[in-house]
């Protein structure tokens, strides 16, 4: 009988351990499913957060690039306007210098022409005076001869 009791006790212990192991296995299975579900939710949340962060960084980068592009364009435009102003000033100075040269040349030409005309007029007057003198001398000689 002791052997029978011992055998019954062992059977009960084995049955109890078997049941506990099954309960523990079921608990672990549920716990594993719960952890797996939390990991999937966390991964999905992390992916969504990552996508939002990437979109935010992309928008920030685009904004930064756009601002930099606008700054560079404004700088280039200013340089171009400065260069245009410098060239315009140079051309204006060159033009003014050329105008002064042309005026000086024109005055020299006019003065030269006037000088030549005055010389011709003076020569003509000398010739005319010489002619008038010779006529006066001849007239005076005739008058003197006529009175004598």
pLDDT tens digits, one per residue of 58-116: 999 898 988 999 999 999 999 999 999 999 999 999 999 999 999 988 888 877 778 88
Tokens of 39: 């990991």
Q: Position of tokens 């010489």?
A: 130
Which string of DSSP letters, residue by residue, matches 65-127? HHHHHHHHHHHHHHHHHHHHHHHHHHHHHHHHHHHHHHHHHHHHHHHHHHHHHHHHHHHHHHH
Phi then psi dihedrals of residue 99, to 5 deg: -65, -45
Nearest Cα to 25, choosing from 9, 36, 33?
33
Q: What percent of the chain shows pLDDT beyond 90?
A: 45
**What span, in angstroms and rounded, lies between the C-alpha atoms of 87 and 79?**
12
Tokens of 103: 């005026």
């Amino acid at each position: 009988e002791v052997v029978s009791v011992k055998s019954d006790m062992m059977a009960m212990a084995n049955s109890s351990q078997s049941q506990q192991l099954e309960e523990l296995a079921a608990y672990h299975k549920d716990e594993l499913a719960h952890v797996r579900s939390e990991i999937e939710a966390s991964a999905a949340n992390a992916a969504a957060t990552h996508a939002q962060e990437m979109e935010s960084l992309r928008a920030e980068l685009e904004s930064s690039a756009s601002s930099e592009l606008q700054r560079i364009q404004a700088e280039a435009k200013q340089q171009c306007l400065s260069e245009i102003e410098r060239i315009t000033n140079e051309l204006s100075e060159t033009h003014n210098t050329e105008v002064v040269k042309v005026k000086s040349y024109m005055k020299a030409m006019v003065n030269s022409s006037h000088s030549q005309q005055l010389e011709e007029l003076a020569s003509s007057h000398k010739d005319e005076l010489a002619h008038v003198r010779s006529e006066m001398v001849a007239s005076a000689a005739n008058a003197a001869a006529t009175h004598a």
